[in-house]
């Protein structure tokens, strides 16, 4: 079965206690984990195979707060399995702060968007709906294991799990060349909301801090008058459906700051 944007199935998970840590930013050791929404795809200054940018929200937070140490190991295309196999080595018992976005690639974010770009409204909706079985069968264990391993590697850290923006403005009648129809936008947005709800449930069950970015991005969806997200992009194509520089600075960064307040 193809991995597509999921529909929430709430599972009962035992709460893992969160370690209390109140270090000031100047004393903190900060590690950013996750996928392209944490590495900075869509922002200026991307480099390397992971497409990391100093203009992603972790780099912006580092520049504004000057923590004792900062390292981003977030990588474009990363799944929960990738995070567990290649990113956790950056964490130690001395890590004070961890931020992470993860889950979108597990459920096939890119294939879903590509499919919806090429097919009709009902086929797009069907592709989104197919994710229900995948979420039920696979994602509970993946989220639970990922968050448990983060806690084990960084037992003293405050861990902030950030969600994904709702991609599309649903009111605009036109979305440009090869743009999504309103029914497609609604289907994809529905999937994003339910993906966020699932991530929130498992993150909070793990004792982590959840940060929902949907309020920060409200009014700035693709097809709208003031988007903070790239639509379909030719050069570079990887920027497609990722935050712009404004999306990271005025969307994700305030969401992280709010979670740390």
pLDDT digits (tens, 9 = 90+) for 60-85: 999 999 999 999 999 999 999 999 99
CATH of the domain at 246: 3.40.50.1110
Scanning the structure block, which residue is given the tokens 């699932």?
198
Identify whether 45 is part of a domain: yes
Report in angstroms the alpha-carbon separations of 179 from 18, 188, 223: 43, 13, 8
Which of these ranges, 5-19, 71-85, 106-120, 181-195, has the smallest mean pLDDT?
Answer: 5-19
Q: What is the pLDDT of residue 17?
A: 38
Task: State the catalytic residue, choosing from 39, 72, 211, 242.
Answer: 242
Identify whether 78 is part of a domain: yes
Identify whether 181 is part of a domain: no
Whether the Cβ atoms of residue 77 and residue 35 lie closer than 8 Å to each other: yes
Task: State the catalytic residue, choosing from 21, 36, 99, 181.
Answer: 36
Whether the Cβ atoms of residue 231 and residue 241 lie closer than 8 Å to each other: yes
Identify whether 180 is part of a domain: no
Identify whether 203 is part of a domain: yes
Q: How confident is the model at residue 23 (pLDDT cuts 50, 70, 90)?
A: low
3-state secondary structure of 10: coil
Residue range(s) defining the domain that contains residue 93: 25-109+135-174+197-214+224-260
Mean pLDDT of 28-57: 98
* CA-closest candidate to residue 109, choices 87, 82, 79: 79
Q: Which tokens is 206 given?
A: 């793990």
Give the whole-angstrom CA distance, residue 105 versus residue 79. Answer: 5
User: Terminus-to-terminus CA distance in the chain, angstroms?
Assistant: 41
Scanning the structure block, which residue is given the tokens 């690639």?
105
Q: What is the pLDDT of residue 128?
A: 93
CB-CB neighbours of 210 under 10 Å: 17
Mean pLDDT of 34-57: 98
Task: Tell whether the model's pLDDT for residue 18 goes beyond 90.
Answer: no
Identify whether 16 is part of a domain: no
Instruction: Reply yes or no on whether 36 is catalytic.
Output: yes
Q: What is the dihedral of CA 67, 70, 74, 75, to 10 degrees?
A: 140
Task: Tell whether the model's pLDDT for residue 6 goes beyond 50.
Answer: no
Whether the Cβ atoms of residue 3 and residue 131 lie closer than 8 Å to each other: yes
Identify whether 163 is part of a domain: yes
Quote the number of domains for the chain.
1
Q: Which tokens is 36 given?
A: 């392209």
Mean pLDDT of 124-141: 87
Identify whether 97 is part of a domain: yes
pLDDT digits (tens, 9 = 90+) for 230-261: 999 989 999 999 999 999 999 999 999 999 99
Task: Tell whether the model's pLDDT for residue 177 goes beyond 90.
Answer: no
């Amino acid at each position: 079965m193809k991995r597509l944007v999921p529909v929430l199935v709430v599972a009962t998970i035992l709460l893992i206690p969160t370690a209390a840590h109140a270090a000031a930013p100047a004393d903190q050791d900060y590690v950013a984990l996750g996928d392209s929404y944490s590495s900075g795809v869509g922002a200026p200054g991307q480099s390397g195979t992971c497409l990391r940018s100093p203009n992603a929200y972790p780099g912006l937070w580092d520049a504004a707060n000057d923590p004792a140490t900062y390292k981003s190991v977030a990588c474009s295309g990363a799944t929960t399995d990738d995070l567990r196999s290649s990113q956790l080595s950056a964490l130690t018992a001395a890590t004070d702060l961890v931020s992470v976005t993860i889950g979108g690639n597990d459920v096939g974010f890119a294939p879903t968007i590509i499919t919806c770009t090429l097919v009709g409204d009902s086929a797009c909706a069907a592709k989104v709906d197919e994710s229900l079985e995948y979420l039920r069968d696979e994602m509970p264990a993946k989220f639970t294991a990922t968050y448990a391993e983060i806690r084990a590697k960084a037992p003293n850290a405050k861990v902030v799990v950030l969600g994904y923006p709702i991609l599309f403005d649903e009111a605009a009648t036109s979305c440009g060349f090869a743009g999504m129809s309103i029914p497609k936008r609604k289907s994809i947005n529905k999937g994003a909301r339910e993906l966020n709800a699932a991530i929130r449930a498992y993150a909070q069950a793990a004792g982590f801090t959840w940060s929902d970015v949907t309020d920060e991005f409200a009014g700035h969806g693709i097809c709208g008058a003031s988007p903070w997200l790239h639509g379909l992009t030719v050069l570079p194509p990887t920027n497609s459906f990722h935050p712009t520089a404004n999306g990271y600075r005025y969307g994700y960064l305030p969401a992280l700051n709010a979670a740390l307040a």
